[in-house]
A and B are shown apart, each in its own frame.
Chain A
Amino acid sequence: MTAPPQSYPRLVWQRFRRSWLGLAGLAMLALLLVTVVFGGFLAPHDPDSRYEPFQPPSRIGFDGGLVARNPHPTGRIDPVTLQPILTYDGAPPVPLRLFAPGARWWLLGLVPVDRHLIGPASPAGAVHILGTDRFGRDILSRGLVAARISLGLATIVVTLTTLTGLLLGATAGYRGGAIDRWLGRLIDFVLAFPQLPLYLALGALIPITIGSGQFLLLLIGIMALLGWAGLAREIRGKTMVLARMDYVRAAVALGASDWRIVHRHIAPNLMSHVLVSFTLTLPAIVLLESFLGFLGLAVKPPLISWGLMLQDAGNFAAIGSYPWILAPVGFVFVTVFAFNAVGDALRDAIDPY
């Protein structure tokens, strides 16, 4: 009784701090958040401007200041692949500078800004740190700007699945009886579908003429429709356990209503589980989005997502000749790793009692 009283979030944070992997994940999440808000600032170029198609990554060097060298054709052709052979030798240096003026981007969609963290000193220059894609667009810039759609889509999907799963799972677990039996069958039904073909089939049902915004909404809808069942089943089980706890019985004896029991006694004890599930499902959706994009079901241009960027990587000949087009995998990897590290550390920290 001598220790000062500690609030629950404080206890969780104290235990979370012990996991360096969790802290690293948290730092990476902060960076991702910065990327979502300031993607246009971090990107050296406009994500839709076209340069040399399939240009390999620029080499960054030092020549009286930071410079980039872009490879240029030697005029010779590789006799096996029939690709022009490129060289960095003799390439004119492109001077770089911080806060370089460049293409206009919109801060939070409201404020026009034309500065970039780093970029060619003159707007005519080009620097492609991760190379360019088949239309000659800068992959780094596209990847940074795509964070907003990819993470936004995942966040909305996971919010929807979590809310649905929580609501249906808690209802089934608390009410029991016929409602529980029917919801249980519905959960089994959803989980029994072979998910991948279903995604592609539902994707194929979306009319091709639809606008990119509506397409995005439908994509979110499909993912949410197929994603809630697992969580609902877990929540149902946990609710059933909690509803039999003595403190719930004591609350009934005090005359508490069903609503009060659920939101006061059951929901708070489910929250830690929901929070962990949220942080662990979100990377799964990011992964799913990139995966479906690879298979052809991605957001429609002009929107950019990591999945869409990976669509180009579906062609093995292209990967062989231009391996840098796989660079969006790096973004997905960082995101998934960050969320999983935070989710794991959170799971260990969340029940300090």
Chain B
Amino acid sequence: MTPSTPIEPVLDVSGLGIGFGAASVVADVSLRIARGEMVALVGESGSGKSLTARAVMGLLPRGAAIAPGSRIDLGGEPIAGLPEPALRRLRGRRMAMIFQEPMSSLNPVYSIGAQLVEAMRAHQRIDRAAARARAAELLDEVGLPDPAATLGKYPHELSGGQRQRVMIAMALSNRPDLLIADEPTTALDVIVQAQILALLKDLQRRHAMAVLLISHDLTVVRRHADRVHVMQHGRIVEAGETAAVFATPQHPYTQMLLAAEPAACADAGPVGDTLVAVHDLEIRYAARASGWRRRPAPMIPAVAGAEFTVGRGEAVGIVGESGSGKTSLGLAVMRLIASQGSISFDGARLDGRDRRAMLPFRRRMQIVLQDPFASLNPRLSVRQVVEEGLIVNAIGTSAADRLARVRAALSDAGLGEAVMGDILSRFPHEFSGGQRQRLSIARALAVEPEFLLLDEPTSALDLSVQAQILALLQRLQRERGLSYLFISHDLKVVRALCQRIIVMQGGRIVESGPAADILANPQTPYAARLIRAAFDLAA
């Protein structure tokens, strides 16, 4: 152990193994966390980091079991293999956990106050009034405005960040020695992420808690963790002081992870004439219509006065928080949702065209969407997925020609026969998230488009896979002169791919210009906050 580890750790795990039946998924994991220390567990999806945390909490999923010989000591007492009632007394009181999804961790039918009071009364002898007063204190401590009023609110009345603050308050309510935060900010916007992490760090110092932070986000870990453990395939491959691990990573996997972080800036490639031009675009959603007859429903503006161009061979990034209208804007450019204002593509006006009149343009502009699991029809084989665009656009002279084009598109997307073998008759569920995203790209490439709308294409993927997809997109841009409209909340990814950046806030474009200029010298405070949050998390 490193000399910085004090004598008495709050959590001491050694030789932890977890198996599903005979299959071992976590083996020989050891980690110690002292009072007042934040230790990070990093790794990609499937590395076993969440399972490790759940094993400590005694919350393993059904079918998983701790291997014999594993030791988990909390405050010097062994807790591995304790019966459920004993664990239940420890959970919440001695150790607490914050989950990734703040939307589903709170019960929607109880007020915030009722849930906090319940959490306290489960472990402490405290009357309702005192618990309620304490709950208000806690909400104040986690930085929620007007705690007394928040106590009476219901989860749906709070934003995602506020809900996560409530979850933290709940975790703190019994003053636990150990706090486990499992990807506490993954579901939140960048700026909110930075705030929540700063809050966690602050609370940890003030209460001298031991915190186990589980994250795939290296920037978060680098900034906040005292020590870091890197997991791969259920084993800890490297552990040490955060600064040391980041400065001189020893294990090849750690090196690969660090290298996969998008750090480069996109080169300013040759940009041709204007391909897409959007002028004074407005998108309004109708509030829910009801009743028998069509009544003019109130319209809620999602995007107003949007104006930008995308040049041939250029990648333009749209950044902004969720709800800023960036996805709506992208879909409107593709004429997939209704909008007012002018959109032109290669000189031709697209606005005002109905679905039939859009057909000649469909094959020239394509989309790749965020969720690799929702964007492929599970009932269609790879061949059917990629061939669809060829069939509906009557591309290809014969079935053999179409098959050749399908193979070419797959190979362009990095799923060629040389790499994957023959995958034409396989189904989407047989592929990983990154491979599915490549399939989506192959589907778009098959019709040989000039313009791609990429809506958060990498945000559901692991860091190393994200790097591969970005490299693929860069190669395609270079080789084919493709133009991209790249929607993302992750400025690092945008910086790596895009020549120009559009910053959106509340449905309006607040700033746009060459990527290097905006990143170095943001004009609006909002853009500045986004950049700070993305690159050093000190917002």
A contact residues vs B (CB 8 Å cutoff) = 1, 3, 5, 8, 178, 181, 245-247, 249-257, 260, 264-265, 268-269, 353
Contacts and interface: CB of A to CB of B under 8 A. Distances in A.
A251 B369 contact: no
B369 A246 contact: yes
Contacts of B363: 254-255
Interface string B363-392: 101110111001111111000000011001
Interface of B: 292, 294, 331, 334, 336, 355, 358-359, 362-363, 365-367, 369-371, 374-380, 388-389, 392-393, 420, 425-427, 429-431, 440, 443, 447
B430 A268 contact: no
A185 B449 CA distance: 44
A255 B393 contact: yes
B359 A255 contact: yes
A179 B374 CA distance: 27
A212 B375 CA distance: 54
B425 A5 contact: yes
Contacts of B376: 247
A260 B388 CA distance: 10
Given A1-B420, A254-B388, A247 B430 contact: no
Contacts of A260: 392
Given A1-B430, A254-B393, A246 B375 contact: yes
B468 to A, nearest CB: 16
A130 B516 CA distance: 91
A254 B427 contact: no
Contacts of A264: 377, 380, 388
Contact of B358 (A1, A3, A251, A255): A255
A353 B377 CA distance: 12
Contact of B426 (A5, A246, A249, A255): A5
A247 B447 contact: no
Nearest to A266: B377
- Chain B interface, >50% SS class: loop
B435 to A, nearest CB: 9
8 contacts: A246-B374, A249-B336, A249-B369, A253-B334, A253-B336, A254-B393, A269-B377, A353-B378
A317 B420 CA distance: 75
10 closest cross-chain pairs (CB), A and B: A255-B362, A246-B375, A268-B379, A254-B389, A246-B374, A246-B369, A247-B377, A353-B429, A253-B367, A5-B426
B483 to A, nearest CB: 15
Contacts of A265: 377, 380
A5 B366 contact: no
A265 B374 CA distance: 12
B290 to A, nearest CB: 9
A169 to B, nearest CB: 19
A1 B427 CA distance: 11
Contacts of B358: 255
Contacts of B374: 245-247
Given A246-B370, A253-B367, A353-B429, 9 more contacts: A178-B294, A246-B375, A250-B367, A250-B375, A251-B392, A254-B362, A254-B443, A265-B380, A353-B378
B9 to A, nearest CB: 41
Nearest to B366: A253
B114 to A, nearest CB: 32
Contacts of B378: 269, 353
Interface centre among B334, B388, B426 (most CB of A within 10 A): B388
Contacts of B334: 253
A268 B426 CA distance: 17
B429 A256 contact: no
A73 B365 CA distance: 91
Contacts of B359: 255
A162 B407 CA distance: 39
Contacts of A178: 294
Nearest to B293: A178
Contacts of B380: 264-265, 268
A246 B371 contact: yes
Nearest to A353: B429
Contacts of B367: 249-250, 253
Contacts of B440: 250
Nearest to A5: B426
Contacts of A3: 430
A269 B392 CA distance: 20
A188 B392 CA distance: 38
Nearest to B440: A250
A256 B392 contact: yes
B389 A8 contact: no
Contacts of A246: 369-371, 374-375
B392 A254 contact: yes
Nearest to A271: B379
A8 B362 contact: no
A257 B392 contact: yes
A249 B378 CA distance: 15
Contacts of B377: 245, 247, 264-265, 268-269
Given A5-B430, A249-B336, A255 B392 contact: yes
Contact of B336 (A5, A252, A256): A252
Contacts of A251: 388, 392
Given A252-B336, A254-B366, A254-B447, A247 B375 contact: yes
A181 B288 CA distance: 13
Nearest to A185: B292
A75 B336 CA distance: 89
Contacts of A253: 334, 336, 362, 365-367
Nearest to B382: A5
Contacts of A257: 392
Contacts of A181: 292
A5 B392 CA distance: 27
Contacts of A245: 374-375, 377
Nearest to A267: B379
Contacts of B375: 245-247, 249-250
Contacts of A250: 367, 369, 375, 440, 443
Contacts of A255: 358-359, 362-363, 389, 392-393
A269 B371 contact: no
Contacts of B430: 1, 3, 5
Nearest to A268: B379
B371 A256 contact: no
A161 to B, nearest CB: 24
Contacts of B336: 249, 252-253
Nearest to B422: A5
A247 B439 CA distance: 12
Nearest to B360: A255
Nearest to A254: B389
Contacts of A353: 378, 429
Contacts of B369: 246, 249-250
A178 B289 CA distance: 10
A249 B420 CA distance: 27
Contact of B427 (A8, A247, A269): A8
A98 B261 CA distance: 80
A345 B388 CA distance: 34
A353 B371 CA distance: 16
Contacts of B292: 181
A3 B426 CA distance: 11
Contacts of A269: 377-379
Contacts of B425: 5
Contacts of B331: 249
A256 B426 CA distance: 22
A260 B362 CA distance: 15
Nearest to B356: A257
Contacts of A247: 374-377
Nearest to B374: A246
B123 to A, nearest CB: 39
B393 A8 contact: no
A172 to B, nearest CB: 15
B456 to A, nearest CB: 11
Contacts of B370: 246
